[in-house]
Structure 1
């Protein structure tokens, strides 16, 4: 059991999986067959021995409490967190059929749990004591920031020239050049220490192969890139919030600002996007008391999942600090005070027309914003030719689903959940349409993951 005495659901456990392969492998280990001496405590710890291919079973222990969130320890050689054995153990625990009874942790599990508790307590005391004296030279930091700004300015100036050359010669050659042209330009932006610009430049390489109408889309993306470049060059004349947005979009690191907000944060959704260099995990939170929506970003090197993982549908009591920027919900997760637990509270929904209007208003503060979080109430997924849309049950307005959403298995989970009846859907609303991430019917509190 967790500290609240409620076991998680299988979907909440699988939302912690680092990738689809781990989710599949962990599901196979969610039965009692391979497990020995499995048990749990009322303080949120679960342990067990899993029979593997070797002579000795793997020792697996999971700490769901401790304030710092789920943590895992397994003697298997896997470098994934959680590994398939930890996922399988938690799935076995969710069954609540006596396979994981309450009891006292064995020595091998108890020692790790005790050491983890000591580390958590030490970190809390160090945080309460404040930063250590003798911080880095502020003048040296200022000089480094000035040198980086100079390199970014030089990179932006070069990018502006390359965009001008592209438009002067026409967009047709971009289809023949392929990714090579954009990779070279992106590499120059990396040299200029502007990773945000580099990422947007790389995205241009995929536009010519995106199907009919690509010249219009390429021109739109080039215009946004040009706008960002001009914003950087004129950042001193911009309002403070917009200037912070420009610095963030260019790729400069930003620190959390303002007081941390302590709340019970409902985990609305979690999903990963990956490229050859980086895996990015997006976690959406809803403050059950404050009503705020926050986005946590976590990163993992190529081929590795980010470490931060939170169970969708549960709420954790924690502090969250916002990052600067106009209209951006990005935040940093601070101290956690209790393990995730169920909550009946859900974010209030809006109509599809209101969601589209919110995105339009957000673009005034951040023209480069891809989407905004939105909870749609009483919508029905309906086919629209070869596409799909979410139609308001009480009006004639609707939002089309994005291309990515139409190709995910989650679309059919949403259709099955609805069965032609209205449901509430949380997702991201942007210029490409709506991407559903989680949904729940009005008569139930259980959230269904769609991503």
Structure 2
């Protein structure tokens, strides 16, 4: 149901997506030129015809019917919601002029009426949208399990033949990744593509490839044995294989954590179809880290924007995980205001301990957010920058893939050889700086 009776936000629409490829496909269709006859009836129903190479796809979405959102489209997709429904909802959420208020055409009105009648007068044994959603979830689970078993066979063949004998590099791995996308397991697909990249990266690629294969094998086995795992670890596995979380449902069911949250950093990445915004927070009283994700489709920036340095009094609802980090933003109790001082941090040793503790709970973790206090940036060659403890003899190398060299030089200028507080992500390949505070609390 849609109790608020309001137009959905892009973030809320994207919680309906089953995986990252679906978000990308929906984002491509969230443009006015692809739709004709689009309209909406309040915040309860949206419809439109998507133009393509053949007959237009007629799409209608019931957001306020019995059992929650339901979708109908004339396309042959077996995904629910399909890319047309996602594209239409994204367009509606962002552009009221392209999807104006109106009366549904006959083809949409008849489907909506049938749903209303079924919701009000169907016998108890009649299937509901909740039942249909459960069946879809079970079908997807079976498909993902089949994909995980197929991937296990591929890994077994690789190890039996020897890593050096695998000269396919990208070809066969790309095919395997495509098979994981077909199995609706985008997380597995992404890790398979990493295997291809590792194979072609040079250096001691064989050791890195073996380690990645071991992690992927562990993830496959965890997914195939979800019912034997503790629930926090099972939740982590589901997320790692690519099962999306619903922020609206999480806010409705989770116990909120209220705190004054300092915005540590905000960064955007753009794959050409979808902009992903990552916002890092730290609770003043709880000391907990949190990650907010927000999305923008069709070239539009994400709606949620929290510049670094602000402090907000708000509720967060953490998603279940063995090491909870991602959260949904709930009620805000006051207007955001600048933080008076940088947060407390730790030394390099404590940063490595924090990453190790997180890695113990989530072995597939690439990095963990940490605050480094009193460190000095030390320039080096292309891959030789470091952040060194001002009062010790320890240092963290900067991640070799951190390409913002101008940002590193700005950090050096901010420091001027003096200790600074730096926030970033600490991982097995090094540290990625995201923001910094000078002794005068000026933020980079």
Q: Same fold (TM over 0.5)?
A: yes
Matched with 1:232 is 223
Range moving further from structure 2, 359-368 or 260-269 = 260-269
**Secondary structure of residue in 2 paired with 1:321:** strand
1:394 Cα deviation after fit:
1.1
Inter-partner Cα distance in structure 1 for 2:202 and 2:140: 38
Q: 1:169 aligns with which of 161, 164, 167?
A: 161
Contact 2:424-2:434 within 8 A present in 1 as well: yes
Alignment of structure 1 residues 114-153 onto 2, 5 Å: 137-153=129-145
Q: 1:353 aligns with which of 349, 353, 360?
A: 349
Distance 1:357 1:137, change over 3 A: same
TM-score w.r.t. the length of structure 2 is 0.66
1:289 Cα deviation after fit:
3.2
1:317 Cα deviation after fit:
2.9
Distance 1:162 1:274, change over 3 A: farther
Inter-partner Cα distance in structure 2 for 1:302 and 1:204: 30
Matched with 1:193 is 184
Contact 2:342-2:437 within 8 A present in 1 as well: no
1:281 Cα deviation after fit:
2.0
Inter-partner Cα distance in structure 1 for 2:182 and 2:371: 40
Q: 2:284 aligns with which of 280, 283, 288?
A: 288
Contact 1:380-1:418 within 8 A present in 2 as well: yes
Matched with 2:376 is 380
CA shift digits 1:83-129 (9 cap, x unpaired): xxxxxxxxxxxxxxxxxxxxxxxxxxxxxxxxxxxxxxxxxxxxxxx
CA shift digits 1:177-223 (9 cap, x unpaired): 34332221111111111111112112222223323112221221111
- Give unmatched runs, 5+ long, in structure 1: 1-78, 83-132
Aligned residues: 316
1:245 Cα deviation after fit:
0.6
**Secondary structure of residue in 2 paired with 1:177:** coil
Q: 1:312 aligns with which of 308, 315, 338?
A: 308
1:378 Cα deviation after fit:
0.5
Matched with 1:441 is 438
Range moving further from structure 2, 163-172 or 134-143 = 134-143
Inter-partner Cα distance in structure 1 for 2:228 and 2:259: 36
Alignment of structure 1 residues 31-430 onto 2, 5 Å: 137-174=129-166, 176-255=167-246, 256=250, 258-275=254-271, 278-301=274-297, 305-383=301-379, 387-405=384-402, 407-430=404-427
CA shift digits 1:151-173 (9 cap, x unpaired): 11101000101111122222235
Inter-partner Cα distance in structure 2 for 1:289 and 1:332: 18
Matched with 1:432 is 429
**Secondary structure of residue in 2 paired with 1:420:** coil
Distance 1:407 1:208, change over 3 A: farther
1:275 Cα deviation after fit:
3.7
**Secondary structure of residue in 1 paired with 2:385:** strand
RMSD: 2.5
1:337 Cα deviation after fit:
4.0
Contact 1:314-1:343 within 8 A present in 2 as well: yes
TM-score w.r.t. the length of structure 1 is 0.65
**Secondary structure of residue in 2 paired with 1:207:** helix
Range moving further from structure 2, 176-185 or 385-394 = 176-185
Contact 1:322-1:332 within 8 A present in 2 as well: yes
**Secondary structure of residue in 2 paired with 1:215:** helix
CA shift digits 1:352-400 (9 cap, x unpaired): 0111011111111100011111000110111456501111111111111
Matched with 1:62 is none
Inter-partner Cα distance in structure 2 for 1:252 and 1:274: 21
Distance 1:221 1:415, change over 3 A: same
**Secondary structure of residue in 2 paired with 1:217:** helix
Contact 1:318-1:334 within 8 A present in 2 as well: yes
Inter-partner Cα distance in structure 2 for 1:301 and 1:139: 30
1:303 Cα deviation after fit:
5.4
